[in-house]
Structure 1
């Protein structure tokens, strides 16, 4: 690698930090050879359930050069979303995944990525690239591990030694050659199986492999039909997403509150108690969740999830 590639790496990381990203790692854009058989097996076992999009673009998922012409580098970024306070989570309260407390992260982070790309083109010169936030066929956890940001835990999420797992991942795939970081090869989970033991629907079938179609997040967000009766009583009052495998993870004791005002909950959301959820109207839903990821499940889906508990 040239000194120029090192210089680019320094510029990318310092600008990412200025925009509020907690960590930035860099990897060479190449075919993810080790992941190909794992992904194929996961799909063959139908662990993606009704998420048909997971089976699409198999080649693009594994090869960033098929997403961005002439791609040379994948820049992986971490953005914290751990809240300063949890919404009321008494034994009777309904629960939302913490990532959905504030505004939809797709838009918040995509804006930051576009700003980062523009600043980098200003400082480095013209180069091509695209920004990705969990909406394109990019194996973001694998790229984050490849760029040294963490390792894949037994719950299949990326774990970072400094901040656990309550963060979003995002990527820039660019046609600029940048010095890569060494990958994270060590697994710091050791013999811990807290996430596997805690999952009420037994979605974690073996370390690092999640049957997505058995996950509470899948049932409450992705599944558009009726939730199967055999999982009734197992949701522990989660009505949008689930944080159980993250809440029990010892690495998340290092989580610190985010500094992103857009991720703070809507004031009305903080006031909702069990009875309010059960009597929620379409008007309240549209007001409280206007800019929220919770809109994905639609009002009818949220009612289904509440009534299923």
Structure 2
């Protein structure tokens, strides 16, 4: 087959496998590489230092597959409208929110299986081909190659947007060492003067259009960050305990976007406790139950300790008094991760009251220092709030 014929046949097979979009880009340096370097220089990648280490590798796809000649970009819609953060809000303040992408099976495994099948098909019609499928775990600027392959444009919220599919899509890439016929790049964006995504962000995480500051992004703090979460961020989590969909929920291009065609990514099987998990149950779930709950889901990226930490912060922000006993148990448990214990202390300080004071008092001599300091700060917060209510000076810490 000619490169053009092979490309058309490969696209047909990709769609048959369940992908919603497929395009082909040449194996060149990504057009947004300098923008990526500027983003790193501005320190907008927060604690994700691996991005600095991988900067040079992202300069060319040859770092992912030696001898690569074509980059096949594939998109897959995930979830269904009403199955994530945009679902009807719960009246129960003890329920949190999970990003739509994490409600189905772990997308890495799902897409890797599909990419392996596509590569197997290609090997059958073009013996000797070498290829590698990647799903956001290799140093590849996927959104740049998706735009180069004609799949959409990068919106002001830094998400790839397809006029037909919207932005609730996963991206996968199949790098091959054969020449395929490249598609026309997506030449321009279609955001116009709209700034809904920028205006709606609960933490003002956008330094401007196309400029995400991860150090203010809810998704970064609830998924990637491993340590304590600063109080000013914790107070603005807006109920999110894993990820955040706000900038996508408000995007007009998602109004009529379709749901997924892959049952594994549907999100209706309640794989991740559903879009509105019970955070009180999260605090008291034991290790074995957590291992079972996280198996085969994307939530394992944050690990049990991160999810418990996030649950404590949201319960504290919402002043859920019923959470005090569970928070006290997390604070007192010396086997618990320090970040989760510190979050429990912060939440107790936010909720206040005699029971919260008692729980904090029992943690005054906790170790390590980070937990003890969180207890002292929480007690001071309660006293400051009580003093303001009673019209008296606060006691010295």
Query: Shorter-chain TM-score category?
Result: over 0.9
- 1:36 offset after TM fit, Å? 2.9
Spell out, residue by residue over 1:219-250, the C-alpha distance to the aligned partner (whole angstroms, 9 max, x if none).
00111110011223211100001101000101
SS at structure 1 position matched to 2:307: helix
Asked if 1:43 corresponds to 2:40, the answer is yes
Retained in 1: the 8 A contact 2:272–2:297? no
Asked if 1:195 corresponds to 2:197, the answer is yes
**What is residue 270 of structure 2 aligned with on the other side?**
266
User: CA 1:103–1:191 in structure 2 vs 1: closer, same or farther (change >3 Å)?
Assistant: same
User: CA 1:268–1:71 in structure 2 vs 1: closer, same or farther (change >3 Å)?
Assistant: closer
User: CA 1:268–1:113 in structure 2 vs 1: closer, same or farther (change >3 Å)?
Assistant: closer
Asked if 1:79 corresponds to 2:79, the answer is no
Retained in 2: the 8 A contact 1:150–1:184? yes
**What is residue 288 of structure 2 aligned with on the other side?**
283
**What is residue 67 of structure 1 aligned with on the other side?**
64
**What is residue 90 of structure 1 aligned with on the other side?**
90
Map 1:165-244 to 2 at 5 A.
165-244=167-246
Q: State the structure with bigger RCO (CA 8 A, min sep 6), 1 or 2.
A: 1
**What is residue 152 of structure 1 aligned with on the other side?**
154
CA distance in 2, matches of 1:50, 1:241: 16
**Number of residue pairs the alignment of both structures matches:** 306
Retained in 1: the 8 A contact 2:79–2:103? no
User: CA 1:86–1:125 in structure 2 vs 1: closer, same or farther (change >3 Å)?
Assistant: same
SS at structure 2 position matched to 1:254: coil
**What is residue 19 of structure 2 aligned with on the other side?**
21
CA distance in 2, matches of 1:188, 1:108: 30
TM-score w.r.t. the length of structure 2 is 0.74
Retained in 1: the 8 A contact 2:223–2:302? yes
- Runs of 4+ residues deviating >4 angstroms: none
**What is residue 130 of structure 1 aligned with on the other side?**
132
User: CA 1:217–1:267 in structure 2 vs 1: closer, same or farther (change >3 Å)?
Assistant: closer
Which residues of structure 2 form unaligned runs of 5+?
Answer: 315-397
Spell out, residue by residue over 1:9-64, the C-alpha distance to the aligned partner (whole angstroms, 9 max, x if none).
101100101110001000111122x4232111111111111111111222221201
- 1:196 offset after TM fit, Å? 0.3
SS at structure 2 position matched to 1:266: coil
User: CA 1:212–1:122 in structure 2 vs 1: closer, same or farther (change >3 Å)?
Assistant: same
**What is residue 365 of structure 2 aligned with on the other side?**
none
Spell out, residue by residue over 1:92-125, the C-alpha distance to the aligned partner (whole angstroms, 9 max, x if none).
3301111101211111111110111011110233
Pick the aligned partner of 1:6 from 4, 7, 14. 4
CA distance in 1, matches of 2:195, 2:287: 41
Pick the aligned partner of 1:295 from 270, 291, 300. 300
CA distance in 2, matches of 1:40, 1:105: 28
**What is residue 109 of structure 1 aligned with on the other side?**
111
Which residues of structure 1 form unaligned runs of 5+?
Answer: none
Retained in 2: the 8 A contact 1:25–1:181? yes
CA distance in 2, matches of 1:281, 1:17: 42
Aligned Cα root-mean-square deviation (Å): 1.8
CA distance in 1, matches of 2:111, 2:149: 19
Kindly name which structure, 1 or 2, has the bigger radius of gyration based on alpha carbons: 2
